[in-house]
Structure 1
Amino acid sequence: MTEKAVIVAHSGDLDKIYSALIVANGALSMGMEASIFFTFWGLQCLKKGGLDKGPLSRMNLLGLGKWMVKSRMKKANVVSLEKLMEDYKELGGKIIACEMTMEIMGIKEEELNNQWIDEYGAVGTYIMEAKDAKITLFI
């Protein structure tokens, strides 16, 4: 097994994307490799301006819950998703965008933040990435 963490980001919920990036950054900071495979609603986060546009997974309350959580995060000095993504990329993290999801949801490459994406692939790409990983997560 390789000292690697591979995460499937299936959800585009704000709190779940935070979790994926925090775990992935943690793995990188501990000397591991890390990859995140963005698929279905998670892929929406890779759209230009879309990283923190998702709702909360619980208690969204028509956006009020999200506003309250973001306010509390700011008071607690939690960095933005944009900064987490920048740190992730600087530390050598890999981003894979699901081509099948792009096809199903009609997402074009030019709609995505291509500076973050290292590879476009499908389930085979994910399997090759995850087959020898010590940590695999589905978020």
Structure 2
Amino acid sequence: MSNKTVIIVHSGDMDKLYSALIIANGSLSMGMEASLYFTFWGLERLKKGGLEKGPLSKMNFLGLGKWMVKGRMKKANVAPLEKMMTDFKELGGKIIACEMTMEIMGIKQEQLRTEWIDEYGAVGTYVHEAKDAEITLFI
């Protein structure tokens, strides 16, 4: 086993993306490697301007719930998603974008924040990344 955390980011929901980044940044800060494999609705968040667009997974209430949660997070000094992603990359985190999902959902590379993406790959890329990881998660 390698000292690594690999997370499939399947959901584009704001709270789930926070969970993935909190765990990944925590892993990096503890000296582990960390990789995020973005697929389906998670991949939508890698689009330019897409990081903050996801709804809450529960109690979104047409955006009102998200607005309330973001306000509470700000009061608690929780970093915005953009900062968490920047920290993840600065700490050495790796992002893999699913090529198959890009094709299925009609997403072009030029639509994505390519400065964040380290690799484009399919399921084999994920399996190779995760096969020896100590921690693997699906969010």
Q: TM-score, normalised by structure 1?
A: 1.00
SS in 2 for 1:113: coil
- RMSD over aligned CA atoms reads 0.3
Matches within 5 A, 1:24-63: 24-63=24-63
Matches within 5 A, 1:107-122: 107-122=107-122
Alpha-carbon shift at residue 134 of structure 1 (Å): 0.1
Do residues 67 (structure 1) and 51 (structure 2) align? no
Alpha-carbon shift at residue 5 of structure 1 (Å): 0.1
Q: TM-score, normalised by structure 2?
A: 1.00
Alpha-carbon shift at residue 40 of structure 1 (Å): 0.2
Alpha-carbon shift at residue 52 of structure 1 (Å): 1.2
Letter in 2 for 1:33: E
In 1, Cα distance between equivalents of 2:26 and 2:127: 22
SS in 2 for 1:46: coil
SS in 2 for 1:27: helix
Show the counterpart of 1:80: 80
SS in 2 for 1:52: coil
State how many pairs are aligned.
Answer: 139
Gap runs ≥5 in structure 2 = none
Show the counterpart of 1:13: 13
Alpha-carbon shift at residue 24 of structure 1 (Å): 0.1
Percent of aligned pairs with the same amino acid: 78
Gap runs ≥5 in structure 1 = none
Alpha-carbon shift at residue 19 of structure 1 (Å): 0.3
Alpha-carbon shift at residue 21 of structure 1 (Å): 0.3
In 2, Cα distance between equivalents of 1:17 and 1:90: 18
SS in 2 for 1:137: strand
Show the counterpart of 1:131: 131
In 2, Cα distance between equivalents of 1:49 and 1:22: 20
Letter in 2 for 1:70: K
In 1, Cα distance between equivalents of 2:78 and 2:29: 17
Alpha-carbon shift at residue 103 of structure 1 (Å): 0.1
Show the counterpart of 1:22: 22
Show the counterpart of 2:106: 106
